[in-house]
Amino acid sequence: MIYRNYLNYSGSKDRIYPILRTYLEKAVGRSKKKILIDMFAGSGVVMFNSLDLFDTVIGVEKCRELVRIHNWIISYPLNDILEEIDKIITKYGLSKDNKEGFLKLREDYNKNLRDSFNPAMLYCLITHAYNYQLHTNKAGEFNVPSGAGRSWFNPSLRKKLINMKNHISEEVQYVAGAPSRKVMITGGDCMDFVHCLKYEGGFKDVVFYVDPPYSASISKHPYRVGNIKWTEDEDRKLFECLDYIHENKGKFIFSNVVQNNGVHNIPLQRWAGKYKLNPIEVQYTNCSYQRKNSGNTEEVIITNF
């Protein structure tokens, strides 16, 4: 069973996780003491679904709002989480069609942001925003329009949240007051995190999962979440970071596209030539947008083992 994205987060790995799982299992091998570092944690689907394979699971995510939401889900009891969500939905009359309620919630969230951060309010904003997006301005204020007529905290999304939380609770049981597995998500730049990790003990028994945003050179809609943007310079730095991991005996699993709507990702293709490139086929249905293909899209998994 795949525990699915409880944010309806764009770019989530729900669909390709069964394929990724085979590479994660191969990377673990017979070892029972492995660490997984999800370098672009995003929706958390890969890190949370892989808890049974690893002794320690760490997600690194530059968008601080996502970090706070995931830590809220990890740390609080399910009943408390649902109670907070339902309270906010009732207070603002949130529904599939209530634009005014969403705008009032957004106003209150932004007004109170300097004094306190409320993860339940942000979760409700995301789940009622246009295409379930998470964008903020430089001040951290949520600025996505209403998703009225399309986005809402529907029964399917509620079920995803419940299933994911129950799964995390089952996998991270407490024995004599200590967690049976360690799971955490931290903020910051994933490449800085990798270099710090090396200083603290190296990459022995560490598996890195890497799913960066699409390169700006092949996407008409540059990646953005929170107030974080991804450029071609970030691609270059990431390739250098993965070479560094390889040179220091770490294993990585990298998912991306070498071609998007007929546009070739030349820098990625050149860099990937030194590693193992594995084409994958995934059918994308019920997307939050209508893709207008002008050519092929080729999704791949690149490994160094």
- Tens digits of residue pLDDT in 157-168: 999 999 999 999
The pLDDT assigned to 271 comes to 95
The pLDDT assigned to 287 comes to 44
CB 16 within 8 A of CB 282: yes
The pLDDT assigned to 103 comes to 98
- Can you tell me the distance from the alpha carbon of 190 to that of 192, in angstroms, rounded to the nearest whole number? 5
The pLDDT assigned to 175 comes to 61
Whether residue 289 is predicted with pLDDT greater than 50 in this model: the reply is no
Kindly provide the residue ranges of all beta strands, DSSP E only, lying in 128-242, ordered along the sequence: 174-175, 178-179, 182-187, 206-210, 224-225, 228-229
The pLDDT assigned to 221 comes to 52
Pair of tokens at residue 61:
């995510």
- Can you tell me the distance from the alpha carbon of 75 to that of 178, in angstroms, rounded to the nearest whole number? 14
Task: Name which residue leads in pLDDT, 19 or 1.
Answer: 19
The pLDDT assigned to 81 comes to 98
The pLDDT assigned to 92 comes to 98
The pLDDT assigned to 264 comes to 84
The pLDDT assigned to 217 comes to 56
CB 295 within 8 A of CB 259: yes
Q: Catalogue all structural domains in the chain, each as residue range(s) with its CATH number.
A: 17-71+178-303 (3.40.50.150), 76-159 (1.10.1020.10)
Whether residue 227 is predicted with pLDDT greater than 90 in this model: the reply is no
The pLDDT assigned to 198 comes to 74
Among left, alpha and beta (phi > 0; psi -120 to 50; other), residue 71 is alpha
Residues in the chain, how many? 305
- The SS3 assignment for 207 reads strand
Task: Name which residue leads in pLDDT, 28 or 232.
Answer: 28
The pLDDT assigned to 94 comes to 98
Average pLDDT, the chain: 88
